[in-house]
Copies of this chain bind each other. A is one copy, B any other.
């Protein structure tokens, strides 16, 4: 596929503080690329360099092969959807969407057509005359996206656009947004600190930490094979256990919990285990697993996402374990002792 965006060694320094450090990546045409990282890691700074609102201190940005240095924001073939949405409160829905087109001095009829078409695509027909302050969160979201998309940008940059929505709506919007992108075929670069958003929507995700990219990968690989401890901890839920020592095929946590983990060619410092990696009462014939016993401390019932907080019997280490919603485990209760196994490869050591 075509590389629509190429970033090479991009760096941004504020007085004495480096917000983005030597970042390089490519984005394919029509792709959905997410940048995932904790607050303050430099995501917005990176995005603002791409859009041209701030100037890079070093490195290059190419869009469709063209170097962007010195080109002002309004001349770049990219548009932003801001975290705050930044809808113009003094205009109605259609004026908001038409704003950019009017600046291009298009004919009125042409503007009208494009706006109507765009509003139809984001399912906002009939809302033309509404004030943006009268819309629901999800509708406002879509107006903001329509306002940018109607400009037919090569790349649409989205800066945590779901951050302000409540949970239920966010769950819904992230699916809607993914489908919209698929339908439109526009390249999206999506910034978020919510791993679930990044995983669900993206073709590729870059995990960012302290101004650097730690890993660029597909959601599935990111989840299954985190390249660094940071990625393992940040993407998906995990039990984090610090390690004390390694002794042949065995590792021991600070709590004193000894686990078999063959195949390590270095001395790891920290161990990550996903809650769903635990196998409750594993079949006796299962191979390649570490086995141990835990005592149930409390059950955190949450429908399909139910977990138990459990205490490993030999060491007292506390772990969260996913509880499959099978009839088999229905009767598990606090204080019960259960055998548990983990496949070696699910013991992620760093």
Contacts and interface: CB of A to CB of B under 8 A. Distances in A.
Contact of A178 (B194, B196, B298, B304): B298
A48 interface: no
A217 to B, nearest CB: 12
Given A179-B298, A298-B178, A298-B182, A303 B325 contact: no
A196 B302 contact: yes
Interface size class of A (residues with CB under 8 A): 20 to 34
A120 interface: no
Interface in A283-325: 298, 300-305, 309, 322, 325
A contact patch SS: helix
A43 to B, nearest CB: 15
A303 B274 CA distance: 10
> How many of these chains are in the complex?
2
A342 to B, nearest CB: 14
A199 B301 contact: yes
B325 A304 contact: no
B200 A300 contact: yes
A282 to B, nearest CB: 15
A31 B298 CA distance: 15
Nearest to A198: B302
Given A199-B303, A219-B301, A301-B220, A309 B175 contact: yes
A303 B219 CA distance: 8
A231 to B, nearest CB: 13
A301 B204 CA distance: 12
A275 B298 contact: no
Interface in A244-302: 274-276, 298, 300-302
B301 A200 contact: yes
A196 B305 contact: yes
A71 B302 CA distance: 38
Interface in A181-202: 182, 193-194, 196, 199-200
Interface string A193-229: 1101001100000000000000000011001000000
A235 B182 CA distance: 30
A234 to B, nearest CB: 9
A15 interface: no
A242 interface: no
Contacts of A236: 303-304
A274 B305 contact: no
B167 A194 contact: yes
A302 B194 contact: no
B220 A325 contact: no
User: Which 7 residue pairs are nearest across A and B when measured between Cβ atoms?
Assistant: A236-B303, A276-B304, A219-B301, A200-B300, A223-B303, A199-B302, A200-B302
